[in-house]
Amino acid sequence: MTEIRADFLMNNRAIAPGVTIKWVDSSTAMSPDAAAAKAMPAGASVNVSLSAAALEITALLRRTATSNASAAEGFDPLMEDLHQQLSTHGKEAQALQELPKGQTQQRIALSLQASNYLLTSLYGGEKLHDTVASNNPFRALDRLSLSHIAFDASGSFTSIERQVAFLDLTARDIDFRNQTFDLPDPLNGNDFKAPWNTLTSYLRDAQMASGMSEGERTWRGWMPAHELHAHAQSVLDRQGIDKVDFPAYSNLKSSSDAVLTAVIDK
């Protein structure tokens, strides 16, 4: 049976800290950009002037940023249930009927767009809402914001929006892990025998942990970022090395308000 992209992401969602495996995505669902392009017919008129929706999401994120460890409770069963629904029923999945608490046009449009994106890009299906675009509504968000959405316990985001955010951050994590998997060992050139794999795992995981909400970190069972940094520093200290160059996780945390736009077909 052919694997869809959602299967691949769900199967690799709970990556343990310290893992140095390289993942190969063999799923056949088209890329998010390709799916969005297919869903947007040529010549379609697009309205991107939904700044009110961006401000609304920013306000929601401020509230969810205070989420605590309790957000981890029931998270795995929720993701499993959503995945089962969408894999089995597609556009008929009950979860797709859920609407957000905020009943403004912009807020609803974002929710519908998340449904379209999930169906077309991650489950290889057709869009559900013809008047709404299918590109990822959370694409511009940093990882920490995605984590706050995925592990939201306040009810500010729909279950589908939470799933989109979670699968998005999962994909980014896998990309980052793969990016740092084949790094050359700069310590060997200096005749050091430092455990390079251990060091890279601490450096990699520390960055990822700093972009996790408390709920996500609790769900994963990870130690805080500063403790992972401390472990990495101890490896360097034992070798008398100040620092090593290491790739940065792209769009990990935003120092300013994230900009989010919903795109609606006219």
Q: Is the dihedral of CA 61, 62, 63, 68 positive or negative?
A: positive
In this prediction, residue 185 carries a pLDDT of: 66
Average the pLDDT over 159-168 and give the result.
97
Burial class of residue 35 in the structure, from the number of CB atoms within 10 Å of its CB (0-12 exposed, 13-18 middle, 19+ buried): buried
In a domain, 191, yes or no: no
Domain annotation covers residue 234: no
Q: Is residue 145 part of a domain?
A: yes
Q: Is 43 contained in some domain?
A: yes
pLDDT of residue 266: 29
Domain count, the chain: 1
Whether the predicted pLDDT of 219 surpasses 60: yes
Count Cβ atoms within 10 A of the Cβ of residue 24 and give its class: 0-12 exposed, 13-18 middle, 19 or more buried: exposed
Q: Residue 168 pLDDT > 70, yes or no?
A: yes
User: What pLDDT is stored for residue 66 in this prediction?
Assistant: 59
pLDDT for residue 190? 53
pLDDT surpasses 60 at 101: yes
Q: Is residue 161 part of a domain?
A: yes
The pLDDT mean for the chain works out to 80
Quote the CA–CA distance of 112 and 264 in Å, as a whole number. 10
Strand partners, 46: 265
Query: Looking at residue 19, what is its pLDDT?
Result: 73
Q: How confident is the model at residue 218 (pLDDT cuts 50, 70, 90)?
A: very high
- Residue 194 is predicted with a pLDDT of 53
CB 137 within 8 A of CB 36: no
Residue 37, in any domain of the structure: yes
Render the burial of 107-141: b for 16+ CB within 10 Å, e for the rest: bbbbbbbbbbbbbbbbbbbebbbeebbbbbbbeeb
Distance CA 128, CA 116 (A): 6
Mean of pLDDT values over 86-90: 96
Q: Is residue 95 part of a domain?
A: yes
Instruction: Answer whether residue 85 shows pLDDT above 90.
Output: yes
Q: Which of 82-96, 123-137, 247-261 has the lowest mean pLDDT?
A: 247-261
Identify the bridge partners of residue 264 per DSSP, sorted by sequence position. 47, 132
Q: What's the pLDDT tens digit per position in 238-256?
A: 888 888 888 999 999 875 4
Could you tell me the pLDDT band of residue 202, with boundaries at 50, 70 and 90? very high
What's the mean pLDDT in 135-158?
91
Look at 26-35, 175-184, 249-258 and tell me which has the smallest mean pLDDT.
26-35
Residues spanned by the domain of 139 = 5-11+29-172+255-265
User: Percent of the chain, pLDDT > 90?
Assistant: 48
Of the listed ranges 59-63, 118-122, 179-183, 228-232, the least confidently predicted one is 59-63
Examine residue 66 and state whether it is found in any structural domain, yes or no: yes
Burial of 226 (0-12, 13-18, 19+ CB in 10 A): exposed
Quote the pLDDT of residue 162: 96
Q: What is the pLDDT of residues 30-70, one digit of tens each?
A: 444 443 333 334 334 333 334 555 676 777 787 765 556 78
